Amino acid sequence: MEDLATILSVIFSSDKTEEFIKYFGIDADREQKARIGKIKGEGSGKSVVSHLLEVMGVPVYISDEESKKVVATDPVIRKELCDLVGEEVFSGGKLNKTLLATYLFASSTHASQVNGIIHPRVKEHFRQWSSHKECLDIIGMESAILIESGFADEVDCIVMVYAPLELRVERAVRRDNASCEQIMQRIRSQMSDEEKCERASFVIINDGEKPLIPQILELIAFLYQKIHYLCSAKNN
C-alpha cells in the first residue's frame, strides 16, 4: 500500500534530447545511465509534480496505482493476503482496500507483513515496465515508501518533495475524505521528514507558494550534472 510518502524514482540515460543537452551545456555519453528517487510525505503533492514531469516527456510509474493492479491480478499475492488478513480481504473477488489499510496501519509488524508480500512483486513489475522504456531518456517511479521497501536500491539519488505538515494533512484529508487522525496515523508510520532529507540529494518545496516549474528545471539540470560526472568518471 503506497499512498503515504511519495518517492519518484527517475531512471534516466544520457540519451537526452539535443535541446536539453545544448541548454545545459553537457556533452553526455549516450551509454551512461543514472537514477534518482524522489521522496514526498503524505499530502505533499505527488500528483502535481509527477504530472509536470510527464508533461515534460518523462513517463512516471505510479507505484500506488500499479501495485493495485498487481495485487488484483497476482494469484500468489491474493492467496498470501487471504492467509494473512482473512478471506474477506478479497470480498466479492475484489480487494477490500479499507480492510487491508486498517490491518496495515494497525502496527509496524502488520505493515512489514503486508509489504513483504506486495513490494517484491511490485519491484519486479517496475523492472519489467522500465525494460520497455529503454529507448526513452528519462523514466520515473513514484513510490510511497521507497527507502523502507527497498526501492532505493533501484535508484542512484533521491529527491524529496517537501510540504509543511499542516498543509500535508489538509491536502490528504481533502483528497481521501479521511479524518485528521487517520492521516496523522499514516504520517507517523512513515520515515520522518528529517531522515528523508538526510537521504535526499535534492529537495523540491511544494508549499503552494514557491513555483514548482523552476525547481523541476533545476532538478533536470542537477540530473545532467550527475550524468556528466558519471560519464567523466567512466571515461577516466
86 neighbors 63 (Cβ within 8 angstroms): no
Q: How many alpha carbons fall within 13 Å on the CB side of residue 70? A: 24
Taking the C-alpha atoms of residue 211 and residue 110, their distance in angstroms, rounded to an integer, is 39
More confident position, 86 or 145? 86
What DSSP state is assigned to residue 31?
T
Residue 99 to residue 102: CA distance in whole angstroms: 5
What pLDDT score was predicted for residue 1? 35
Beta bridge partners of 45: none
128 CB-contact burial (10 Å; exposed 0-12 / middle 13-18 / buried 19+): exposed
> Tell me, what's the pLDDT at 114?
93
Domain 6-235 has CATH 3.40.50.300: yes
Mean pLDDT within 223-235: 69
DSSP 107: -
Is residue 45's pLDDT more than 80? no
Q: Where are the domains of the chain?
A: 6-235
The label of the residue with cell 533545476 reads: 218
Report whether pLDDT(174) > 60. yes
| 6-13 and 60-62 strand pairing | unpaired
Average pLDDT over residues 161-181: 87
pLDDT confidence bin for 128, thresholds 50/70/90: very high
Query: pLDDT tier at 23 (50, 70, 90 boundaries)?
Result: very low
pLDDT level of residue 56 (50, 70, 90 thresholds): confident
Which of the given ranges, 42-51, 73-82, 87-96, has the highest pLDDT on average?
73-82
CA proximity to 73, closest of 94, 87, 42: 94
pLDDT > 80? residue 36: no
CA distances for 235 relative to 28, 29, 158, 226, 229, angstroms: 11, 9, 24, 14, 10
Cell 520522518 maps to which residue?
Answer: 192
